[in-house]
Each structure stands twice: as C-alpha cells, then as structure tokens.
Amino acid sequence: MTRFHLPDLIRSVSTLVLLGCLSAHAAGPSTSATFQGDPVLTEEQLEPGRYLTRVSNCAGCHTVANGKDFAGGPPIPTPFGTMYGPNITPSREHGIGNWSADDFWNAMHDGKAPDGTLLYPTFPYPQYTRMTRTDTDAIYNYLMSQPAADTPSRPHELRFPYDQRPLLRLWRAMYFDHGALETDPAQDYQWNRGRYLVEGPGHCAACHTERNRWGGSNLRKDLEGGGILGLNWYATPLTGGERGLGNWSTDDIVELLLTGASRHGTATGPMAEVVTESTQHWNAQDLHAVAAYLKTLPASSESTSTPTPAEAVMSIGGKVYQQHCAHCHGDKGEGDAPAWPPLVGNTSVLAHSPTNVLQMILKGGYAPATETSPRPHGMPPFHGLSDTDVAAVATYIRNSWGNDAPPANAHDVARLR
C-alpha cells in the first residue's frame, strides 16, 4: 500500500488494471433508449455520483493533466501496447452522450459497449461488476451533468494479436468473474461496506493482486500483492503479515489513505495518484470501513524465508547508505515521519520484490500533495550511482535493523533504468 512512486507517470496505469471509469474506447452508438441524465437534478442530488466518481477515480484514466475533465486520459503503457482512456463526457460525437443509463450499467457490470463490443479490461470492469445499479446510475447522472468536450478519443495502439477484440471472449471466460457483490449477513455493516469499497469502486485488486502474462488475476492470491504490469512497480500486499498490513492499525491505514503518509511509510508513485485524486476525498466512515475490512484479511500462507545476503554486498550497501541515506533516514533506518519515512518495518522495504526500493533510489520519492499536506517533502534521485551500488544499498536497507527481504541485484537495477 505504501511507497510507490513515479511522478512522470503518475497518471499512468498498468495493463488490465488501475484507475478509471471506462479505459476502453467508447465504441458504438446506443442500442437502447437514450437517456441524457435528469436535467432537473440538483447539486445535492448529484452529490452521490460526484463522490462515487472520486471513489472510483475515473479522472485517473480519463483526464490528462491540465485538460478538460473526463475528456480523455493519458497514455496507459502495457506489455501489449499503449492504451488511452476515452472521452466520457456527454459529447454525442466523441463521448458517451448517446449512452443510456442501461448502456452505462452494461459497460460497468458486463464490460460491453452499447453495440456489444467487448471492452478491454484496462477499464477495471472485473472489479466494477461488483457495484450496485444504484451506484452506477449515480455516476452516470453525474457524468451526464458535466460539460461536453468535443475531444476525439485516441485509438489504442496495441500489437497484433492483442488488437483483435474477439480474443477477449477467451480472456473473459478465463478471468472475468461476473456479478454484483452480495452482503455477508454474518458480518456487520462496516465490514460489508469496506469489502464493497475494496472489491468494487475502489478496485484495489486491480493492482494489489498478482497477474499472469495475460493480465489475468490470480484470485487464489487476492490482494496478496503483485507487480503492476507495464509500469515496473510492485503493489504491496493488503493482507496481514509483516509484508502486508499485519503491523498496521486501522488508524495507520486511514492516515495513509487520507494524508498520503503514515508511520509505516509514504505513498508515492501510482499510489500517490490514488491518494491525490481519490482516497483523500473519501469520507471518514468509508476510510474506516476499508481499514476495518483489510485488517480482517489473513496473511499469505507462503513462506517468508529469504536468502542471506553476501557480506561483501552488505558492506558496500552500508557504506552507500551512510554516505547518501542516513542523514534523512537515520543511522538505524528510524526516519522522522512524515518528512523522512522510516525504513524499519516499512511495507515496501519488506516487499517480496525489491522494485519499489530500486525505483525510489533511481528516480526519487515524491509524496502526494493533499489538503493536509499541500507541499510534502520529496526525495532526490540517485540515478548517478552504479547498478552495483544501487543494488547493494537496496539489499542493505532490506536486511538491516531487523528487516528481512530478498536481496536485489544489478540486473534488477539495469532493467529499471
């Protein structure tokens, strides 16, 4: 959950995942009666949709920096090519102005455009399918109340055979678990609300669940962390255990989602965008519901044992750390949160993959700007270090002061440059 970063790609998202309301081309005219939203809805009546649009982070894929709201998003790098979030304003020519509420529901629930075209799962309909019709209607009405933008949607740039939409039938048969989420009567309202937000509009599994080479989620490892395909970042586990949220309190989770920082670390990279555009705007009840639900998830059953780093590597890493890192993060990795995140017990530091630590060493760490912290501290990049030194200091950080995580190597560093 913590310590992701990448300011130059902060609005990008990975393959078959991440933030947006319709990350596939809004194909075809409506085949059902057109409904442009209720023109007499008041701001108060539109508020649920505005809020849910924030929770779902539609702007993350459908709005470029300094661009018109929902008029089309930035490039989305994936292993299959580049995708673009389309225009989802009420424009009849370039947006979804000809879509009915039923059409919008079918896109969110079934991953299909009005003419039956299958949508690419870069648009996270595998998660949005869990949402209620009431909530998707609220989002639809809010989007239809926004100014129409006559900005053409950019076509995706996918390599063959990934540009063949009929192949999505096979992908859906293997990886799309269709259906709205049902309330668990054995749990209380807060738990059910938290689960709904995590599995539905918050679409946390889109990043925090391991994916295979085809972008399909491994549901047996739901929310146990995974690499974000196309971005070279690792989404840490949201389950229990020391590599996940086992040492976090519910207040720690709420603080991170609300402010972008906690005593366990700082949200940077893709997660910083999530905080800036989405979670800092959630109400307190929903933040606490998410935290309460996540704290009930068990730890991964996988072994956490790691190989012992070579003494020579630890020696080099220790010297690099004292020269470049200790001034801010402390001689023993204690840090001084929130300005200088602690490295001891930091979830991203302890992650199975060293990717996040390497990314921040190479490219710097930039916390999100939030209402509570409009000018957060940042960490400069150290890309001038050699691959060997970067790998050594990452290994040192991940295996000092009680930390225990797999070592990094120079090949890992070279891959990320």
Query: In this structure, are residues 242 and 305 in contact, taking their beta carbons and an 8 Å threshold?
Result: no
Q: Is 327 annotated as a binding residue?
A: no
- Hey, which residues does 76 pair with through a beta bridge? 83
Q: Is 208 annotated as a binding residue?
A: yes
The phi and psi torsions of 61 (rounded to 5 degrees) equal: -110, -15
- At position 321, the amino acid (one-letter code) is Y
The phi and psi torsions of 408 (rounded to 5 degrees) equal: -100, 165
Q: Is 207 annotated as a binding residue?
A: yes
Q: Is 329 annotated as a binding residue?
A: yes
Q: Is 328 annotated as a binding residue?
A: yes
Output the CA–CA distances (angstroms, integers) from residue 241 to 238, 255, 268, in the order listed: 9, 19, 22
DSSP 324-345: HTHHHH-TTS--BTTTB---TT
Residue 48's CB is within 10 A of a number of other CB atoms, namely 16
Measure the CA–CA gap between 335 and 350, rounded to whole angstroms. 16
- At position 109, the amino acid (one-letter code) is H
Output the CA–CA distances (angstroms, integers) from residue 296 to 86, 210, 223, 245, in the order listed: 37, 20, 12, 10
The phi and psi torsions of 266 (rounded to 5 degrees) equal: -125, 140
- At position 239, the amino acid (one-letter code) is T
Tokens of 73: 């998003």
Residues whose CB falls within 8 Å of the CB of residue 184, separated by 6 or more in sequence, listed in order: 191, 192, 195
* Dihedral Cα 109, 111, 112, 114, nearest 10 deg: 50
Annotation: binding site for heme c: 58, 61-62, 204, 207-208, 325, 328-329
Annotation: binding site: 58, 61-62, 204, 207-208, 325, 328-329
